[in-house]
């Protein structure tokens, strides 16, 4: 872990493996807004009311991220019959992000986004966001990693679809730039089967890299994410949606309002029930001992 800076909350800096500490909960809106700013605002409201720490979006330059042949290929969607029509409809521009920035400040919740290309990262800089995100698909994008790490903002790095060798190379970039980071254990299936989640990998990531480790989940239920927090994840990220039946590839792997509320409620309970590990007799126990240990000969 690099030296602390103003972007790194104290509880994320803390070592060793911080079981029972505050968990940074990220509500991943991504592209679940379906190109509608009002849906985006409703999802921000949902995250705020559920006591999430931040909401996250995705930013892409379509003609850089995708090949022309792919964009010209057929895909039926509410916005047309090509991949381009669908991808462009899901991208917010400056007007929308200006409003998202204003709205999140009004609501008192942090926001940030995962850029999928260098121009998109440059675009996000104008908002002076506290956090950056490397999506699992981008962990091997050397040029993008250099740009993000050069900003020295706390960065959440998802590790789905990645080997240790690929993670090694990404971590080396952030270490060289002395940029603080959190490795997010992730299985990039949408939705992911619970048998594939391998939560123990969080501990192995911590042992190998000696850095804060979190969890980015794509499972249907909330239970594995709660278990990840219980195991010591410093951050938990989950996609959110107004309705899983809505159009979109990420909707089925997202939490609706009640699921998100339960997730954050359970996670916020962890520090209270974990305690400090020191064995002590409570006042109520002392009273019960007098009542229940009625025999005269005892230790």
pLDDT in tens, 217-257: 999 999 999 999 988 899 999 999 999 889 888 888 899 99
Contact 260, 46 (CB under 8 A): yes
Average of per-residue pLDDT values in the chain: 91
Q: Taking the CA atoms of 201, 248, 110 and 116 in sequence, report the sign of the dihedral they define.
A: positive
Whole-number Å distance between alpha carbons of 127 and 192 = 33
pLDDT of residue 299: 66
Query: Residue 100: CB partners within 8 Å, gap ≥ 6?
Result: 37, 40, 44, 57, 92, 111
Q: What pLDDT is stored for residue 44 in this prediction? A: 98
Cα 221 from chain centroid (whole Å): 16
* pLDDT of the chain, 299 residues: tens digit per residue: 334 333 444 544 444 445 557 899 999 999 999 999 999 999 999 999 999 999 999 999 999 999 999 999 999 999 999 999 999 999 999 999 999 999 999 999 999 999 999 999 999 999 999 999 999 999 999 999 999 999 999 999 999 999 999 999 999 999 999 999 999 999 999 899 999 999 999 989 988 998 999 999 999 999 999 999 988 899 999 999 999 889 888 888 899 999 999 999 999 998 888 777 889 999 999 999 888 887 766 66
Backbone phi and psi for residue 37, each to the nearest 5 degrees, phi listed first: -65, -35
The domain locations on the chain are: 10-292
Q: Which class for 189: exposed (0-12), middle (13-18), buried (19 or more C-beta within 10 A)? A: middle
CATH topology of domain 10-292: TIM Barrel (3.20.20)
Say how far apart CA 166 and CA 21 lie, in whole Å.
29
- Other C-beta atoms lying within 10 Å of the C-beta of residue 244: 17
Helices (H), the chain: 10-13, 37-49, 62-65, 68-72, 83-89, 94-107, 118-125, 142-150, 164-176, 201-209, 223-231, 257-274, 283-292
Q: Which residues pair with 54 in a beta bridge?
A: 26, 110
pTM beyond 0.95: no
Write down the pLDDT at residue 7: 41
Quickly tell me which residue has 């229940």 as its tokens: 292
């Amino acid at each position: 872990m690099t030296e602390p800076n103003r972007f790194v909350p104290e509880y994320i800096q803390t070592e060793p493996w911080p079981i029972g500490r505050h968990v940074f909960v990220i509500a991943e809106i991504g592209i679940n807004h379906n190109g509608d700013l009002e849906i985006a605002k409703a999802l921000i409201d949902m995250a705020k009311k559920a006591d999430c720490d931040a909401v996250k979006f995705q930013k892409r330059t379509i003609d850089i991220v995708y090949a022309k042949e792919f964009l010209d290929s057929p895909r039926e969607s509410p916005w047309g019959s090509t991949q381009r029509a669908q991808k462009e409809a899901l991208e917010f521009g400056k007007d929308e992000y200006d409003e998202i920035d204003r709205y999140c400040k009004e609501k008192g919740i942090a926001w940030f986004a995962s850029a999928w290309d260098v121009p998109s990262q440059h675009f996000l800089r104008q908002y002076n966001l506290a956090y950056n995100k490397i999506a699992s698909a981008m962990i091997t994008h050397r040029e993008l990693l250099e740009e993000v790490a050069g900003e020295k903002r706390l960065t959440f790095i998802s590790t789905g679809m990645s080997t240790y060798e690929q993670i090694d190379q990404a971590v080396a970039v952030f270490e060289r730039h002395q940029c603080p980071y959190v490795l997010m254990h992730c299985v990039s299936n949408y939705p992911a089967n619970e048998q594939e989640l391998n939560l123990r990998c969080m501990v192995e990531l911590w042992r190998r890299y000696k850095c804060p480790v979190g969890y980015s989940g794509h499972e249907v239920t909330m239970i594995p994410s709660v278990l990840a927090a219980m195991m010591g994840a410093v951050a938990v990220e989950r996609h959110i949606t107004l309705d899983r039946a809505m159009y979109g590839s990420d909707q089925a792997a997202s939490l609706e309002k009640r699921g998100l509320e339960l997730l954050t409620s359970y996670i916020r309970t962890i520090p209270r029930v974990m305690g400090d590990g020191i064995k002590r007799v409570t006042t109520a126990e002392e009273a019960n001992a007098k009542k229940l240990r009625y025999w005269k000969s005892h230790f």
